[in-house]
Chain A
Amino acid sequence: MNFFSTNIILVENTLIVILLALSIQIPLRLGVFSFAAIGYYAIGAYSSAILMLEFGWGSWEAMFVATVFATVVAYLLGLVLARLTGLYLGMATIAFDLILVVIVLNGGSLTGGPVGIFGVLGSIELWHLAAAVIIVLALLTLTERGKLARRFDAVREDPQLASSMGIDVVSYRRLSFLISGALGGLAGAFAINLRTTISPESIGFGLVVLGLTVIIVGGQASWVGAVIGACIFVWLPKLLDFVGDWEEIIYGMVVVLAAIFIPGGIVGLFLEAKHRRQSKRNRSVVEQVSALLAGEDEHESRSAAVNEGAISDR
């Protein structure tokens, strides 16, 4: 209990980063290379703060409207960027994040300019955030099973194949923007309620890097990767306290080593080990049936070749 109360800020941060990382992960699972999650986070946080401070709204109403607003913006962004893919889409969404920073910097008293907004005292508590994260994870589990998981994989791996299988690739990509907007907006709205403050510095490029490293190290195949990555990168600075100035270097090395040696992230490692075990089990079946399908021919060809004298005696 003592550990929990002394580390409550880190627990809050972990849960918020999980939501933010999921907001980046969902588009990636559908082959959409988008970093706009940081922008949705900013919209969720600033909208909630403005509605609560300027209009006197309660935390929950402000959070709901801010999340819906971030979702609508995400959908519209998805329509505007519909024709972009890969790096071009990545660059366009980073530009979207940076444009939002410029807007809040120049938003005058409404956004607090470079200083940001302080003193947003809401009624939201940590257990509300924890409950929201659990619900989100439960819902995302559904996308990792059965039909929906296969469709996600097909849209990401081979859009043309997905289309020929009757899957509406464009709709799934738009859906990824919608879900990403909702999760990012929700993360931002929770963050402002629990941290009471937001500034342009806290929604800058550093947050894009954090979100991406969480997914790279944790893994993009499953929400489990986002949870593992968030735990690592929120708690790593605390665990590396003793190394002093070397902390940033170790942080960077972890990311580089993960990108080189475990491209599928930690979740990818587990999946690969599982697949390897399964392959081992399947090997004898594969060999037997393959021999039935093709081996007979090789035998026949060899016999024929021997008969024709094509293979000399050895």
Chain B
Amino acid sequence: MTGKTQAVLEVNNIAVHYGGIKAVNGISFSLEPGRISGILGPNGSGKTTLLGALTRMVSLTSGSLVFLGQDYSKVPARKILSLGIARTFQTVRVLPDRTVLDNILLGTDALSSSRAGNVKENVRQAIERTGLEGFEQVRPGELSYGVQRRVEIARAIAAQPSLLLLDEPTAGMNQHERQEIGTLLRKLSEEGLTQLLIEHDVQMMLDTCDKLFAMNFGVLIAEGTPESVVQSIAVQESYLGKRAQQNA
């Protein structure tokens, strides 16, 4: 591990405007390889729009996105996975009439054979890592919300991405499931997978992330270690404002 390594993702002054609404307005940051970064912010702060922009689902008004040294600001959304960027969604998005195995295989279907590698082995590992052994032939509708979340993560990591973007990965889960997901993400990080999380659960962010970014009104208001970001006055005023006032 050297001190200076190439950033996996560089976000350079990006903006997403809808008419007069500036959902994302001049955000810049970079993600270091193998680390888990998190984006924190109250509802409507622009987190999901930012994730949409990073996955090219939302068009940029200005700025650029660089992934492993390659500018992908104009690359269509459907090519993001083949670049090595996988994602999960805010609400679970699975094919309800397909088995868990089919849903995971879907993550590898559109990849070139060189990119997909040994699909069978990758899918087997994804199932094993996410603890889904035994569920292969089950339809997602028969599973709990938390397990369906695992299916989404398994589908994403079966594509062998270099960057995993997770939109509220623990939403709808109980405490134990949240801890399990946190442990899984840490394990993936140790194996070298760079991750960016958007999450409301502050404790989960503190426990899981190496670095936090805080957003409000479409701009970054703080970044640094999870503890420093959560304790920053700007974040407390925007995200934890009421509690800070009550405590005061």
Contacts and interface: CB of A to CB of B under 8 A. Distances in A.
Contacts of A301: 174-176
A294 B135 contact: no
Interface of B: 55, 57, 77-82, 87, 89, 93, 95-98, 102, 105-107, 109-111, 131-135, 137-139, 142-144, 146-147, 150, 155, 174-177, 179-180
B142 A168 contact: no
Contacts of A283: 142
Given A150-B102, A164-B77, A298 B143 contact: no
Nearest to A281: B137
Interface string A274-314: 01001100110110111011101110110000000000000
B109 A293 contact: no
A165 B80 CA distance: 8
30 contacts: A147-B109, A150-B109, A157-B95, A157-B96, A160-B93, A164-B55, A164-B78, A165-B106, A165-B109, A166-B80, A166-B109, A167-B110, A271-B97, A279-B138, A279-B142, A282-B137, A282-B138, A285-B138, A286-B138, A286-B143, A288-B134, A289-B131, A289-B133, A289-B135, A293-B131, A293-B146, A294-B176, A294-B177, A296-B176, A301-B176
A293 B132 CA distance: 9
A279 B131 CA distance: 20
A261 to B, nearest CB: 19
A150 to B, nearest CB: 5
Contacts of A297: 174-177, 179
Interface in A159-203: 160-161, 163-169
Contact of A166 (B105, B111, B134, B179): B111
A29 interface: no
A8 B141 CA distance: 46
B98 A150 contact: yes
Nearest to B132: A289
Name the prevailing secondary structure of the A interface residues. helix
Contacts of A278: 137, 139
A124 B34 CA distance: 66
Contact of B110 (A166, A293, A298): A166
Contacts of A150: 95, 98, 102, 105-106, 109
A154 interface: yes
A164 B77 CA distance: 6
Contacts of A163: 57, 77-78
A161 B89 contact: yes
Nearest to A164: B87
B57 A154 contact: no
Nearest to A167: B110
Given A151-B110, A294-B174, A301-B174, 14 more contacts: A150-B98, A165-B107, A165-B155, A166-B79, A166-B82, A166-B109, A285-B134, A286-B142, A286-B143, A289-B131, A290-B147, A292-B131, A294-B147, A296-B176
A158 B97 CA distance: 12
Nearest to B179: A297
Interface in A261-279: 271, 275, 278-279
B177 to A, nearest CB: 6
Contact of B135 (A169, A275, A286, A300): A286
Nearest to B109: A147
B95 A153 contact: yes
Given A300-B176, A301-B175, A285 B135 contact: yes
